[in-house]
A and B are shown apart, each in its own frame.
Chain A
């Protein structure tokens, strides 16, 4: 009788495991559609207003892809972008770089508190800067992150286009320290490129150029990735990754499922927790999401509200110039990719997320 009960319990457990495995959708080899009928009118009218080719103003979405539970719920593109366009992600690259680094950490190649100089010798000028400080954008190095509005003083423009362009990490490492490392958040594309150079130092020389593919893109079935490099061969980890919307969504799904891709833990779950933990020294900047471990969080910092008040607190994102975004809403099992060509500040993360959540049936939202 006891043996019989045990066998029954085992059979039940197995049946449950099988059915939950079946219920979980993965884009293998391609994304499946979710047949639910949802009225997207309020979302589309916000994201895709009529746009003029000559006046580059207002909200200019190139792509919007909404994934629920690993299936496509909604997908729309604006010409000339299509489902097969590998679109520039700008600073979304930074969070993807952090994901590549997470795989390297899972392989035991570094610890968060290791000094950067161990992997990238030019940082011997700043021996106290640790990898965790770069991941928090808190190297303490002098930096001015402005794009086209203040090009004369901008460190990022100098790094990408003039003085720094041949060796972007070297340009950053040559800056002077303004703060002790780890004490203050200062958003810096330079910090991200020093991370890209540190990754190089963790690998055999011939392994670096292919590492993001070998570690992350190929296991996830991503076939559209282009990652540009500087003249020294270091990935422009801050800015120059290109992906199809459907491929960036694969990284979103990996994050939503805490680093697991089907049965394989590609990324340590502890790394995703680090990405999603607010940097304790950061102070809230009005209108901006809060920095975690090279990802952006809706989680409030002490003394301030939610950066995106209409989205749940557990929402997090990878964000880039001109409106590029990958949002992950774990509680709603949603992954949203939005590509844009916004040349002004009209687009609001909160408004898009608010409309997406409002469009979904109440038990989902």
Chain B
């Protein structure tokens, strides 16, 4: 039994090593997706705040999602990562800041 647990642990570690880049990126997806798509929902498609919150909702919860309406800027935080999207222009819509 103990040997099996070891084998599983080693296999998991091996997989994590192979997928280290994807796993390292994973926590950033939620806040980046939410900031970008919420920004476009609000300032490109022109929908209201409540609708856009529902629109970007995922199975993992965000810790915060705030908009600065004057600057058309959206900040999202989730899984310990933070991302900002801003509206650029009437033709170019929204984009994540680097």
Mark A residues whose CB is within 8 Å of B.
53-54, 56, 80, 85-88, 148, 151-153, 157-158, 160-163, 165-166, 209-210, 213, 225-231, 240, 242, 341
* C-alpha spacing A70/B16, complex, angstroms: 55
The contact string, 1 if C-beta is below 8 Å from chain A, for chain B 3-34, is 00000000000000001011101101100110
**Subset of 12 A-B contacts with CB under 8 Å:** A88-B40, A88-B44, A148-B58, A152-B23, A158-B22, A161-B28, A161-B29, A165-B96, A209-B92, A225-B91, A226-B92, A341-B55
Q: Nearest-CB distance from A62 to chain B (Å)?
A: 10
Beyond A157-B33, A227-B92, list 6 extra A-B contacts (CB 8 Å). A148-B58, A161-B36, A226-B92, A228-B88, A240-B40, A242-B40
Interface core residue of B25, B28, B47 (most chain A CB under 10 Å): B25
Of all chain B residues, which has the CB nearest A210?
B91
Q: Does B54 contact A (CB under 8 A)?
A: yes
* C-alpha spacing A185/B57, complex, angstroms: 33
Q: Does B98 contact A (CB under 8 A)?
A: yes
Q: Nearest-CB distance from B55 to chain A (Å)?
A: 7
* C-alpha spacing A116/B82, complex, angstroms: 36
* C-alpha spacing A319/B36, complex, angstroms: 22
Q: Chain A at the B interface: mostly helix, strand, loop or mixed?
A: loop
The answer on a CB contact under 8 Å between A226 and B44 is yes
Q: Given the complex, which residues of A lie within 8 Å of B28, measured CB to CB?
A: 161-162
* C-alpha spacing A125/B38, complex, angstroms: 36
Q: Given the complex, which residues of A lie within 8 Å of B97, measured CB to CB?
A: 231
Q: Given the complex, which residues of B lie within 8 Å of A158, measured CB to CB?
A: 22, 25
Q: Does B48 contact A (CB under 8 A)?
A: yes
Given known contacts A148-B58, A151-B29, A152-B26, A166 and B98 CB-to-CB distance under 8 angstroms: yes
Of all chain A residues, which has the CB nearest B41?
A88
* C-alpha spacing A233/B83, complex, angstroms: 19
Given known contacts A226-B92, A228-B93, A87 and B19 CB-to-CB distance under 8 angstroms: no
* C-alpha spacing A231/B51, complex, angstroms: 27
The answer on a CB contact under 8 Å between B91 and A226 is yes
The answer on a CB contact under 8 Å between A227 and B22 is no
Nearest 9 pairs of A and B residues by beta carbon: A161-B32, A228-B93, A162-B25, A226-B93, A80-B47, A152-B22, A162-B28, A161-B33, A231-B98
The answer on a CB contact under 8 Å between B54 and A229 is no
Q: Does B72 contact A (CB under 8 A)?
A: no
